[in-house]
């Protein structure tokens, strides 16, 4: 099974190499054809220079296209994604109310809260798996 996979990779690489060589030969023939066409109008050095400029211009256009295609997309921030001041104030009010209620519960049963904290600390101290799980939760 692995040998079939390696054979497929080798065939794909060979096809890519053949395609690249054929493309380079086609570019060379095209460049030579442009040079010969310009020879009828210009002297030899000018025809060679203009052919070189044409090839460089095509290469620059292709590099620009590749850059445009492969650049990272920017995520546009929509107005709906930004919370309003009223939403932020509501979230703060909810958090304040939850904090007051939790404080009231902790104050009402100090012995139970202390015992729960002691048992949780003991469990985290004795179990490495629980410790790593809690660390992964806190990191994410």
Domain boundaries defined on the chain? 2-70, 110-140
pLDDT of 55: 87
pLDDT of 100: 81
51-101 pLDDT, tens digit each: 888 889 988 998 899 888 888 877 776 666 677 788 778 888 888 887 788
Token reading at 111: 């012995």
Segment (H or E) for 9: helix 2-39
99-132 pLDDT, tens digit each: 788 777 767 766 766 677 777 777 777 878 877 8
- Supply the DSSP symbol for 84: P
Angle between helices 2-39 and 44-70 (to 10 degrees): 140
């Amino acid at each position: 099974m692995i040998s079939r996979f390696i054979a497929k990779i080798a065939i794909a690489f060979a096809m890519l190499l053949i395609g690249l060589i054929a493309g380079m030969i086609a570019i060379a023939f095209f460049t030579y054809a442009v040079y010969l066409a310009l020879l009828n109008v210009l002297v030899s050095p000018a025809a060679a220079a203009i052919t070189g400029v044409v090839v460089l211009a095509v290469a620059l256009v292709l590099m620009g296209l590749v850059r445009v295609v492969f650049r990272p997309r920017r995520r546009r921030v929509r107005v709906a994604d930004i919370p309003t001041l009223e939403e932020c104030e509501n979230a703060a009010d909810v958090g304040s109310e939850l904090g007051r209620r939790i404080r009231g519960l902790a104050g009402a049963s100090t012995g139970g809260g202390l015992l729960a904290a002691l048992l949780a600390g003991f469990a985290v101290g004795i179990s490495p798996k629980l410790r790593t799980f809690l660390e992964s939760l806190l990191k994410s």
